[in-house]
Amino acid sequence: MTAPEPMVVVRGVDRTYGSGPAAVHALRDVSFSVAPGELVALVGRSGSGKTTLLNVVGGLDRPDAGTVHVAGTEVTALDEPGLVRLRRDVVGYVFQTFGLVPVLSAAENVGVPLRLRGLPVADREHRVRLLLELVGLAGHAGQRPGEMSGGQQQRVAIARALAGSPRLLIADEPTGQLDSETGLAVMALIRAVVEAEGMTAVVSTHDPVMMALADRTIRVADGRSAGA
């Protein structure tokens, strides 16, 4: 029985910001792959290159050299419309800063990606209800972000990232603004939804407790990867 094609393949990726003596080499010849259904933790100190690497994998930034494939598509070869489709249909994002729209309720925030897809109202509302139940916020659908705790806001952000049924979930320090107990609960939630939704996930973290929930860790230091 042949092994499935990797969900993510990164080969020889370099990314430098600036030029000359002030240049910052964010990524240096990074290579790794992630299997379908795998939860991989990117581990490293702040400034090690984790965020840049996630942005390159998710099509939010372009490398100076190397290639990235996600779900069989060469991300590094896509034009802007292709990248928009990738971000809309294939990849879901969770950020450290939550990124919720303050004037929208939890349900409305989760429904934003579905509105952009033009999903019928009844289907959209059904999917939003399911997602809020999945992240344990069924009773908070009408609350705005300012009325919720940090952990609850991050749960809404996770539900929003899952709205379009992405094949790959990218989470950049999703517990960075949370206390350790809440952070562990959010990481456990990510572990659970990866399994429930049959997704692949790449999550950056520097918390050793969070790493235990991953299938594998890839260490990033000074823009280089190890353990890939």
One domain, residues 36 and 130 = no
Which two three-digit tokens encode residue 201?
């996930």
Q: What is the pLDDT of residue 1?
A: 57
Q: What is the pLDDT of residue 134?
A: 87
| Domain interval for residue 153 | 101-165
Q: How many domains, in total, are found in the chain? A: 2
199: CATH: 3.40.50.300
Pick the last residue of a domain from 111, 136, 165. 165
Between CA 165 and CA 174 the distance in angstroms is 19
Q: What is the pLDDT of residue 211?
A: 84
- The reply to whether 96 falls in a domain is no
Q: Is residue 148 a contact partner of residue 140, using CB atoms and an 8 Å limit?
A: yes
CA distances from 205 to 40, 101, 128, 135, 154 (A): 10, 24, 28, 20, 15
One domain, residues 2 and 77 = yes
- The reply to whether 212 falls in a domain is yes
- pLDDT means over runs of 10, the chain (228 residues): 83 91 88 94 86 94 95 94 91 89 96 89 93 91 94 92 92 85 85 86 83 90 74
One domain, residues 79 and 173 = yes
One domain, residues 63 and 117 = no
Q: What share of the chain is helix, strand, coil (3-state, %, to 5)?
A: 40, 25, 35
